[in-house]
Structure formats: structure tokens, C-alpha cells
Structure 1
Amino acid sequence: MASGGTLLFIFTAICVTAVKSDEFVKIECKTTNVGDYGQQSLLECVIKTAELAQDATIRLVIWRKLTSPEDEDGLPLVVFAKDKLNKKSGYRFAEPLWDKKNMNVSLLITNTAVEDDGYYKCTVITDRGDSSMLNTLKVQARYSILTVYSIPEKIVPNKDSTLICESHGGYPRGTLRWFDEENHEWTGSSEMEATQSDDGLFQLTSRLSLLRGSTFPKYTCAVFNASGGKEDEFTFETNIPPPSLHGSEEDSNRVEIYKIVVPLVVIGSLMVGLLCVLLIYRWGSHCEYTLLVSYLMI
């Protein structure tokens, strides 16, 4: 049986070890970060020590790129071990003159690419304890200025045509939406295609079919990023009157005839009525007969 002194020593050693790991040293990171494509990105992490461990010396630092939060064997990007620093091209500590006494272990990505999007883990071991922290980087790239054109090049009334809207160089995948001049949305009548290039950026193409007899004077195409924010818009003018004003030629002729005939009928009725008033004193009931005949003729 172990003596009371031995048990006390073992208990004390276990407690000290636990304090070293959980209380003496703790790494604090900004867990969610946003990086712009083609620019520098910073994953901020700083080692915090208790008062009794302020003179802690770093023995090991490992920055890994993970495939998922549960990944334990991610790709090493920056490794400091046995007083030697190894780093993958494009990745380094944020402070160029970093050494094992520097508690700022932030990671700098010098040229952010789409492949940098994802999960990262920083692990630190010191002579006073160890700690690790998981964080993420969300890469974003702004979509290019929109290009909108029609097929055929000149839109003709009462003939089918297509509007095509394009934007490229964005990330993550965005959307193209269509609106008419009264801001009514027509995206449901369009078809959008998104293709990803070798660098991971997206090319967006949307086709809006314009049916004969239902084409509006203006259509606006807008590109929205993955967060729903509008990045650009372009208004295309078809130079065609609204659908209610460009009916068939036969309908137009009927409208013109109606505009001429109706006033003539009204004027004729007024003249007959006035004539009856003037002759009522001469012919009496004969005027009533004349008025009746006139209305029957109309």
C-alpha cells in the first residue's frame, strides 16, 4: 500500500500538470476571419499566460490547414520546433522577427487564394503548459462589372429574343437576377449557369427569354454575392414600347376608327335634338315622330 506522503505527491503532481495546461497557458484567437482574394489575410492568435508563467518559453508552434473541424492531421503550414522554423511558401508568422519569447503567433497568408478558405488549427506547447485553438477563414472575391447583350443584336417587336448577362471572377458562388423597369422580378423566367475556373473563381451567365408581344422597354441585370449583397447592376434598353401599346395593326386601326365614329354620332344626335326643339311649335306631335325616326337611324 502506498504511503500517505506518496499519494499526496502524486495528487499534487497531477494538479500542477492540470494547472499548467488549463490555467497557466491559453491561446486566444479570432475564430472567424474574412480574407480578400489576392490580398493578405491574417489569422490572429496570441498566447496568454498566468502571472506565474509570464516567463514562459515557446517550445513548439504548429499551424495546420484542416479539411474539417474534426481533422487531426491537417497540412502543416508553419512549424516551429527545436528552435527551428519551417514554413510553406505563402505562409509565415505575422511578425517577421518572431522568436520563441514572442507570444503573438498570428498566421499571415501573403496571397490569399480560394484554396485558403476553410478551417485552421494553431497548437502551442511551452515549458509552462500547452493550448490549441480552431479558427476559420472565409475567402471572398468581388464579381466583375456586368456585361449584358441581346440575341439578335437588335430586338424586334413580336419576335422572340434573348438577353444574356455575364459576370466573372467572384467567390463564393453568387447569383444573377433580372428586373423590369417597374422593379418586378423576372429571375424565375431565366436560366443561370455557374462554372468554376482553375483558380476556383466563378463565371456566372444568365439567359432571359423575351417572348413576342410581352417585351418591356428596359431590363436590369444585377449580380448578388453569396451573402445576398448587390455588387453591380446594368440596365439594358430594348427600345420597344410597353406590351399594352404595341398590339396588332388591326387593333390599332379599330381604335382609330372608333375615335372618329363616336364623336360624329354624338354630334349628329345633338343636331337632331336641337332641330326638334326649333320645330316643336310648328308640327307638335310630328316632331316626336321625327325624333323617333332619327334615333332609329342612329
Structure 2
Amino acid sequence: MASANLLFFVLMLSSVRVGRSSESLFKLKCQPAVGVIGQTTHISCSIEFYTKPKPVVINTVALTRSGEKKSCFTIQPLENIRIGDSRFDVEKEPSLQLHNTAISDEGEYRYLIRTNLGQDQVRFTINVTAKYSNPIITSVPKEIVNDGAADLYCNASGGYPAGTIHWFDQSNTNWTKSATLQSTQGNDGLFTLSSKLSFQKIDSLWAPFRCVVLNSKYEEEEGGTTSTLEIKDNPENSPSTSSTVNNSIAGVVVIGSLIVGLLIVLLFKRRRNKRAVPMEHTYPEEEKDLNEPVYKKAAEAEEIFTV
């Protein structure tokens, strides 16, 4: 009886050693994957041998989401058996690929393979992203006036995960701290970003403004946008107003000059008339002798100044 128990113990020990030896011939490794919504995600995996590499024949592949007991994808190539999500596939043993990636695919997975050299399993994560649309800038009012109040808006949609928007002026000064951001997630899981930058007095020297979309890692996405909004001069200081004022002043000057000239002419004529009056009264009618030289000159002078 004792010998039988000893034999059984030896057999169990040898089987454990064989099992461990078989499982320790290689190690499975997988890199974290980043997928884009609607596209194919590649999950890069490899086999690292502890001993001299040998031909590997995979007979079972099983992929299970963390927290779940049932695998979401299982394949047995030798038996041509495939179970679970058909979007998963073995790309190049032991790497995987996921077609038509969705937000719901994001998470951690447990990947198990069984081969002719034993089995091993590893955990990896899938992160999902979606690029935002090119941001668009609008303003209220539509026509911005220098030194006037203005609200600038920047909108981008269709992105994942939630990102942020930064504002820059023409000198690359960051105005983001003065802006307010609103992030809204739709029924499809995608986000819409809306940022508002307000000014009580905007300066045309700051233009043009541009808004840039940053992803969840604060990395700038390709694209961005630059404001094409024009900032007009204040109407009070506009060239048209200045021209009107100048024309008005010029008109006043011309009219004033004409009035002054007319007054000078009238004053000159009045003085001439005053000079002629004493000569009339100096020589009474009854004492005038028009043939005398004195009276003759007076008459001529009177005729000249009364013209």
C-alpha cells in the first residue's frame, strides 16, 4: 500500500514537472493597442522562447474581456471552429486585429493561446479615438469693431475622448484662461466641443485669432483653424468720418473767407463815401463856381467816389 502511494506521488510530481516545462517553453507578449473608430485596430503580439526556438502550432486562441468569464472571441484553427465576435481575427499568429472598431471595444482584455509547446496568457488594453472635425470660428457681432465688445466662438465635433480647445492671437499669446469650454457627449458616444472667448474691448492688433483642438493627452490634432474675421476701425475714427469733418471745416473756411472779403469791400466803399461828403458841404451851392479849378477838382472827385 505504501509502495502504491509512493508510485502515485511520483507520477503526479512528474506530470506537474512536465506541465510546467511545457508551459514555460515560451512567453506571450502583447502591446497596448490604439484604435480609431470605424477603422481596423492592429493588436501586436509576439512569442518569446525560453529555449531554442521551435515550430509553434496554435490550436486554440481565446480572448476575454476583463471582468467577464465568457470569452468574446475563440478560434481553433485546426478544427476550423470560430466562436464570438466576428470582427476579431488572427492577423499573423499570434497577433490579432479588430475590424470596424467601436467605442464599446475600449477596455482591458485577457488573451490566451494553447500550442504544441504549451500555453500562456497575457493582458493588454485597447484605447479608442476619433478625430474631431476641423474647428470653425464665428463671432457676435458678425462685424467686429476695434475697441468694441465681441464674443468669439470655436466649435469642433465628432471626437473621442473628450478634448479641449485653446485660443491664440497673432503673436501666439494663449488666451485660453479667458475662455469658457463646454463639452457635450452625443448618443453615439462622440463629443462636441464649444469654446467662447469674450472681449469688452477688442484690439485689431491681436487679430487674426486661431483656435486649436487638443486631444485627451493635450496633443494638438492636425488642422486647427485661423480666424478670417475682420476687425474694422471704430466709426468715430474711421476715414469717412474724418473726411466729412475735414470737408465741413473747409466749407466753413471758404464761406468765412467770402464773408470777410465782402465785409472788407463794404468797409472800403463806406470810407470812400465818407471822404466825398465833406467836399460837398465845404462849398455851398450858391458859392460854387464850377469854372474855378478848385470846384472843378471837387466835382471830379465826387463823381469818382460815387460810381
TM range, smaller chain:
0.5 to 0.7
Alpha-carbon contact 2:137-2:154 (below 8 Å) kept: yes
Q: 2:14 maps to which residue?
A: 12
Structure 2: which 5+ residue stretches go unaligned? 238-307
Gap regions ≥5 residues in structure 1:
96-103, 250-298
Secondary structure of residue in 2 paired with 1:182: coil
Q: CA deviation at 1:47?
A: 4.7
Task: Give CA deviations for 1:116-151 in whole Å, capped at 9, x if unaligned.
Answer: 222122112345422111111222222221100101
Provide closer, same or farther for how the CA distance between residues 171 and 28 of structure 1 changes in structure 2, counting only shifts above 3 A: same
Length, aligned pairs only: 232
| CA shift in 2, pair 1:176/1:6, >3 Å | same
Greater mean alpha carbon deviation, residues 183-192 or residues 153-162: 153-162
Give the match for residue 262 of structure 1: none
Counterpart check, 1:114 vs 2:98: no
Distance change in 2, residues 1:48/1:13 (3 Å): same
Asked if 2 retains the 8 angstrom alpha-carbon contact of 1:78 and 1:92, the reply is no
State the shift of 1:164 in Å. Answer: 0.5
TM-score of the superposition, structure 1-length normalised?
0.66
Supply the distance in 2 between the matched residues of 1:114 and 1:127 (Cα, whole angstroms): 36
Question: What residue number does 1:63 align with?
Answer: 63
Do the aligned residues in 2 keep the contact of 1:56 with 1:126 (CA within 8 Å)?
Answer: yes
Identity %: 28
Post-superposition offset of 1:181 = 2.3
Q: Which has the larger radius of gyration?
A: 2
Task: State the distance in 2 between where 1:200 and 1:17 align.
Answer: 46
Tell me the amino acid that sits aligned with residue 143 of structure 1.
Y
Secondary structure of 2:132's match?
Answer: coil
CA distance in 2, matches of 1:213, 1:91: 55
In 2, distance between residues paired with 1:179 and 1:219? 6
Residues 238 and 53 (structure 1 numbering): CA distance in 2 closer, same or farther, change over 3 Å? closer
Partner of residue 40, structure 1: 40
Question: How far did residue 40 of structure 1 move?
Answer: 1.1
Q: 1:2 to 1:209 in 2, by over 3 A?
A: farther
* Corresponding position of 1:24: 25
Is 1:179 matched with 2:168?
A: yes
Indicate yes or no: 2:71 matched with 1:80. Answer: no
Q: Aligned pair in 2 of structure 1 residues 11, 166: CA closer, same or farther (>3 Å)?
A: same
